[in-house]
Structure 1
Amino acid sequence: MGIAVIADIVGSRSMDDRAAAQAAIDDAVLRIERDLPLAERPLVPVVGDELQGTYPSLPDAMCGLLLLRLALPDGVECRYGIGVGPMGDIPSRAGALAEGPGWWAARAAIERVHGLQSRAIPGLRTGVAAAPGEDEAAVDLANAYLLSRDQLVSDMTPRTRRLAYGRLLGTTQAALAEQEGITQSAVSQALATAGAAAVVEGFRLLRRAR
């Protein structure tokens, strides 16, 4: 059993250049697959502003979506629903159609994220839901972690997101400073101010839990 992920583009209907936003998302997904491939089926557009993909485990999904959040350029964001539960395909003339409780849970998760984001938690972008019979306690723990992680990432500047992405992949602060054309001290300060060390440590623990 894998993990289903549904993503939708935040504010897609009001974008000045919807095609450019889609291209940026596609580029970010390809970049992650090159840097640290974690998905069974990387996110691909399916209809409108929605994308779908699958991951082998919940930690893999949370790690992959963190990398994607950090890799996206300023002004392009997605919401993510992670579904824990069985998945299957239904044959059709147009090809296999994703179906099953895992996908229904992913849809419920993204709807919950949308509701919370619209009301009390504007920085939230990622949520998890479980199909009946799955481990609800593990899902609650994942959502508790994601509430804090998403807020930290949402508050980061574009540069800090780039720096955090590099640190997740093990790039040294000295190398990041050279890439950005700033001092290593400036890199350290930017990461510390944004709470990026907590994001990096959380990522390390998730990778260990795979």
Structure 2
Amino acid sequence: MSVAVTADIVGSRTLTDRGGAQRHLEGAVDRVESDFPLSERPLRPTVGDELQGVYPTLAAASAGVLLIRLALPDGIECRFGIGVGPIDDVPSTTVGTISEGPAWWAARAAIDTVHAKQSRTLPGVRTWAAAAESQDAAVREAVRLANSGFVARDQLVTAMAERIRRITYRRCVGDTQRAIAAAEGITQSAVSQALAASGGAVLVDAVQTLLAAE
């Protein structure tokens, strides 16, 4: 079993600097991969505003996409579809192999679900997971539990200002509140209060819990 992740840029057609947004996004992905090498195949651009990558487990994918969201600057957001199931590498005479299979189809269905939820009652949702039809009941239950967490944590991240996301990310990396305060030009007390008020402390604990599973 593998975990495929498809991502697309929210509102990519209306961005005033599409090239700059792409650079920021790829920079955020590279930063997360450097700090937390969780993926088997890092998210990379495919066509248009879409990226694709592969993670070894649902926990790794969950932590990875959360960290990418925290690493992005204001004005750039992504939706993430996570698909759990088999991945097939199809031989190609021009590019070596083409990655396809049930995990990718599930990831596409998951990102379609994100689009639907955003346009209805949950505009802050950015992440969803789906299991391939071949997956057993235990995997499907794990996906359902993951989705309940995605809905809650996405609401927190979507509401955060860039500085709060930056502070939260740095705490995930392991920086002390004192070091973060010095870098941000604020007091340690202000860092602590920001993490508590925004839900950043909850996300730091969530990342630590997910990484412990790895």
Instruction: Normalising by structure 1, report the TM-score.
Output: 0.97
Give the counterpart letter for 2:132 in structure 1.
A
Q: What residue number does 1:27 align with?
A: 27
Q: What residue number does 2:167 align with?
A: 163
Q: What residue number does 2:141 align with?
A: 137
Give the counterpart letter for 1:170 in structure 2.
G
Please tell me whether residue 147 in structure 1 is matched to residue 172 in structure 2: no
Listed as ranges, the gaps of 5+ residues in structure 1 are none
Give the counterpart letter for 2:161 in structure 1.
T
Please tell me whether residue 66 in structure 1 is matched to residue 70 in structure 2: no
Distance 1:113 1:41 in 2: 23
Q: CA deviation at 1:204?
A: 1.6
After the TM superposition, which of the residue ranges 85-94 and 38-47 deviates more from structure 2?
85-94
Distance 1:94 1:182 in 2: 54
Please tell me whether residue 108 in structure 1 is matched to residue 112 in structure 2: no
Distance 2:5 2:196 in 1: 31
Instruction: Provide Cα deviations, 1:31-71, integer angstroms capped at 9, x if missing partner.
Output: 11111111111100000111000011100001011110000
Give the counterpart letter for 1:99 in structure 2.
E
Q: CA deviation at 1:133?
A: 2.8
Q: CA deviation at 1:92?
A: 2.4
- The total of aligned residue pairs comes to 210
Percent identity of paired positions between Structure 1 and Structure 2: 58
Distance 2:94 2:11 in 1: 29
Give the counterpart letter for 1:125 in structure 2.
R
Distance 1:175 1:99 in 2: 44
Equivalent positions of 1:87-98 (< 5 A) are 87-95=87-95, 96-98=97-99
Q: What residue number does 1:16 align with?
A: 16
Q: What residue number does 2:196 align with?
A: 192
Give the counterpart letter for 2:203 in structure 1.
V
Please tell me whether residue 206 in structure 1 is matched to residue 210 in structure 2: yes
How big is the alpha-carbon RMSD for the aligned residues of Structure 1 and Structure 2? Answer: 0.9
Q: What residue number does 1:172 align with?
A: 176
Instruction: Normalising by structure 2, report the TM-score.
Output: 0.96
Q: CA deviation at 1:209?
A: 2.1
Instruction: Provide Cα deviations, 1:110-135, integer angstroms capped at 9, x if missing partner.
Output: 00011101111011001100001322
1:182 paired residue among 175, 180, 186 = 186
Q: What residue number does 1:36 align with?
A: 36
Give the counterpart letter for 1:106 in structure 2.
A
Q: Match of 1:203, SS?
A: helix
Q: Match of 2:124, SS?
A: coil
After the TM superposition, which of the residue ranges 89-98 and 62-71 deviates more from structure 2?
89-98
Give the counterpart letter for 1:108 in structure 2.
A
Give the counterpart letter for 1:114 in structure 2.
H
4+ aligned runs moved over 6 Å, structure 1: none
Distance 2:27 2:200 in 1: 24
Give the counterpart letter for 1:110 in structure 2.
I
Distance 1:208 1:123 in 2: 27
